[in-house]
Amino acid sequence: WPQFRSASRCPGAMQDQMVYVAAVTVLGVLEQGYFSLQVIYARRKYSVSPPSITGPPEFERVFRAQANCSEYFPIFITIMWVTGLYFSQAVASLCGLLYLIGRFQYFQGYSKSALGRLAPLYFSAKMLWILIGLSATGIINYMCRLNLGVDFLQYLMGFLQV
């Protein structure tokens, strides 16, 4: 049988470099599970049987909040990982954590009222756009380093320390 080594035995392995992004990913999956459970509870509470997606406004708000969070989850996960790989694991993890907090507040706010979703929606959208910008910056910098031998981020960090 092949020998499997844990990340702690392979210093510098990708597992070591991406452990915080992986932890935020698992938290995000758990959050999605929580949102799905809330829809199940709302179905029972308001007597809305599957496959129906309409019912009292209280149910529909919970359902829409969960659906919206699920729709954005693949975008969030993808862009957080790209940011972690090409820009910074720490920054990607922090932005990812803030995004998940914003999404939780969005879900809670939307479940109570349609207006309650707006401030957390705008906050989580800002976090997503920051991750998109950082991932693009990281990819462009990596391509410049690879093809031109120029590391703009390294140059910028040196310039800012002066």
| Residues noted as catalytic | 44, 117
Count other C-beta atoms under 10 Å from residue 30's C-beta: 11
Task: Return the closest-CA partner of residue 87 out of 1, 16, 13, 18.
Answer: 18
Tokens standing for residue 93: 């993890």
Of 83, 76, 78, 84, nearest to 100 (Cα)?
A: 76
